[in-house]
Chains A and B, each alone.
Chain A
Amino acid sequence: MFKQYKKYLKITKNSILTVTTYRFHFFFSIISSILYFVIYFFLWRSIYDSSGSTIINGMTFPQVIVYISLAYSIFVLFKTWTEWGMSRNIVSGQIMMDLIKPYNYHHANLARSIGFVFFNFFCITIPIFILLFTVFNSTIIFGINLLYFAFSLCLAFLISFSIDYSIGLTSFYTESIWGISITKEVVIMALSGTLIPLSFFPDSIEFILKLLPFAAIYHIPISTLVTPTLGVLDYCIMFISQISWVIILLGFNKYFFKQAIKVVTINGG
Chain B
Amino acid sequence: MLKNLRFYFKLYFKITSQYIKARMQYRVDFLISIIGIIFTNLIGIVFLWVLSLSIPSIGKWEIDHLLFLYGFSLLAVTPLQLFFDHIWILRYRLQEGDFIKYYLKPLNSLFYYVSEVFDLKGLGQLGFSIVIIIYSSIKIGFEWTFLSTIIFILLFFSASLIMISLMIIAASAGFWITNSYSILAFIFNFKDFSKYPLSIFDGMFKFFFTFVIPIGFVAFYPTTLLIFPEDIDLTIILSPFFGVGLFILAYSIWKKGMNNWSGTGT
Residues of A within 8 A of B (CB): 24-25, 27-29, 31-32, 35-36, 38-39, 42-43, 45-47, 49-51, 56-57, 174-176, 178-183, 186-187, 189-190, 195-196, 200-202
What is the predominant secondary structure among interface residues of chain B facing chain A? helix
Interface residue ranges of B193-208 to A (CB < 8 Å): 193, 196-197, 199-202, 205
Please indicate the chain A residues that have their CB under 8 angstroms from the CB of B46 in the complex. Answer: 190, 195
Q: How far is the CA of A56 from the CA of B51 in the complex (A)?
A: 10
| Beta-carbon contact of B189 and A200 below 8 Å | no
Given contacts A25-B181, A174-B29, contact A42 B39 (CB under 8 A): no
What is the predominant secondary structure among interface residues of chain A facing chain B? helix
Q: How far is the CA of A46 from the CA of B55 in the complex (A)?
A: 11
Given contacts A50-B55, A187-B39, contact A28 B182 (CB under 8 A): yes
| Beta-carbon contact of A39 and B58 below 8 Å | no
Q: How large is the interface on B (under 10, 10 to 19, 20 to 34, 35 or more residues)?
A: 35 or more
Given contacts A46-B200, A174-B28, contact A57 B42 (CB under 8 A): no
Q: Which residue of B lies closest to A45 (CB)?
A: B200
Q: How many whole Å from B64's CB to the nearest CB in chain A?
A: 15
| Beta-carbon contact of B202 and A42 below 8 Å | yes
Q: How far is the CA of A11 from the CA of B200 in the complex (A)?
A: 47
Q: How far is the CA of A201 from the CA of B39 in the complex (A)?
A: 19
Interface residue ranges of B75-129 to A (CB < 8 Å): 121
| Beta-carbon contact of B36 and A178 below 8 Å | yes
Q: How many whole Å from A112's CB to the nearest CB in chain B?
A: 20
Q: How far is the CA of A175 from the CA of B58 in the complex (A)?
A: 44
Please indicate the chain B residues that have their CB under 8 angstroms from the CB of A45 in the complex. Answer: 200
Please indicate the chain A residues that have their CB under 8 angstroms from the CB of B33 in the complex. Answer: 176, 178-179
Given contacts A39-B196, A46-B200, contact A32 B42 (CB under 8 A): no
| Beta-carbon contact of B189 and A174 below 8 Å | no
| Beta-carbon contact of B59 and A183 below 8 Å | no
Asked if B26 lies at the interface with its beta carbon under 8 angstroms from chain A, I say yes
- Name 4 extra pairs, CB < 8 A, besides A186-B39, A196-B50: A32-B185, A46-B199, A178-B33, A180-B32
